[in-house]
Amino acid sequence: MAIHIVHSVIHGFNKEQHGPVTGIVKRPVLLDNELQAVKDLVSGLSVLLGKKTNSQAWGRFGNDGRQGPFPASFAAYTQDLPSAEQFKNLSHLVVDQLVEQAGEKALSTGGRILFTLFNDENGSPVFLVAMIKQKGGLILDENFVPIGIVEVDLSKLHQAAQIQVNHFTADQEVDDNDEQEGLDRNYLSFLSPKTNSQASNYFIDALGCIVGITSAKATDQIFLAVDAFFVANVQLTPLRKKAKEKIVEYLQRQLDTGQLATLEDICTAVKQAAPPGYDAHFENILAFLNGPEYKIPDEFVVHESAYKKHAKISLDNERINLKFPRSDLGTSREAKIGYDKDQRTLTIRDLSDEFIAKLDQTLANG
């Protein structure tokens, strides 16, 4: 099922780094969504967030008084999505905010800005704002109407943000003082500003966005997301445990060195769980992890407690207390911690010489 464009328009302004804002254009007429160039442009841009070259940062609107007028205006707009006039007015407001924020950031640059409301493959409405650099491939006429896309490299967006409208409206029903634990309140995504924060943050600031996923949530989600990815592919399912071991090893290294965990490194680590020739099975893993279901950010601080929850098993009753890596537990005879449900036993194998010496000493002491 292809996306369905409801409304679209292109505005723009000019600005070079360290220069002033000039040439502000706010078009009074929306685009004809039946034009093939419009369809190609919108459909092309709509799939780019979350691709390998365009990792998403997930978040929501701020509410600290510094978010500007867009969040409240967007909330009002969602009450009348079919209105072309309301869509146009909202797009003009965003241009004003972008111009204001770009003027305050020396390294910011201008370009052509696509605004579109479309229904995705599932029929859910999505509001997308994308800054496009017009460098030969994208051809616009004097009214900013696309008339051709010739060898345009849409694989790298300059700036973009999209809002899952249904998720946003559902979130408006949640009382900030009565949030459910674990509730996902991140309904918008934008290009992860990992390269030049001053050059990119003006776009985020203009829309009133804040990063919403915490270190603990990201650390917890990565285990769930990778497990789901391996379950969804029958060829990879038998390798789930090994993939989790690779994540544990990688995150432990990042904890030990105090470095951020990155999606790119995590994807590299889990691929090592598969034998040679499995590369095709991992083509969309970054988009899956970074996508709207799990929303793993491009990089995050490893949360030690969340990590240990997945890396270690702790068993405790009135008789024994055991703690060991999850990867050691298994039901085969090769498992370091062998579990036999029928015999109601847990067998510890591969004891170190030091551990054996301690056991011998304990028995000798009576």
pLDDT digits (tens, 9 = 90+) for 42-79: 888 887 776 666 778 888 888 776 778 999 999 999 99
Based on the fold, state whether residues 109 and 239 are members of the same structural domain. no
Mean of the per-residue pLDDT values for the chain? 84
Helical (H) or strand (E) element with 129: strand 125-132
Domain that holds residue 352: 331-365
The answer to the question of residue 283 being in a domain is yes
Based on the fold, state whether residues 246 and 355 are members of the same structural domain. no
Longest dimension (CA), the chain: 93
The answer to the question of residue 318 being in a domain is no
Q: Name the nearest CA neighbour of 137 among 125, 154, 124, 122.
A: 154
Give the position of tokens 């290009």. Answer: 191
The answer to the question of residue 286 being in a domain is yes
Determine whether 33 is exposed, middle or buried from the number of CB atoms within 10 Å of its CB (0-12, 13-18, 19+).
middle
Q: What is the pTM of this model?
A: 0.74
Q: Yes or no: say if 9 and 1 are a contact pair by the CB < 8 Å rule.
A: no
Q: In the structure, what pLDDT confidence band is assigned to residue 299 with cuts at 50, 70 and 90?
A: confident
Helical (H) or strand (E) element with 131: strand 125-132
Q: Give the C-alpha separation, 184 to 213, whole Å.
A: 9
The answer to the question of residue 326 being in a domain is no
The answer to the question of residue 313 being in a domain is no
197-248 pLDDT, tens digit per residue, is: 555 578 888 888 887 778 888 899 999 999 999 999 999 999 998 999 899 9
Pairwise pLDDT comparison (2 vs 223), residue with the higher score: 223
Q: In the structure, what pLDDT confidence band is assigned to residue 156 with cuts at 50, 70 and 90?
A: low
Using the CB atoms, write b or e for 2-15: b if 16+ within 10 Å.
ebebbbbbbbbbeb
Q: Yes or no: say if 335 and 327 are a contact pair by the CB < 8 Å rule.
A: no
109-127 pLDDT, tens digit per residue, is: 888 899 999 999 889 999 9
238-291 pLDDT, tens digit per residue, is: 999 899 989 999 999 999 999 999 999 999 999 999 999 999 999 999 989 998
Q: Give the C-alpha separation, 162 to 45, whole Å.
A: 11
Cβ neighbours of residue 276 closer than 8 Å, sequence gap 6 or more: none
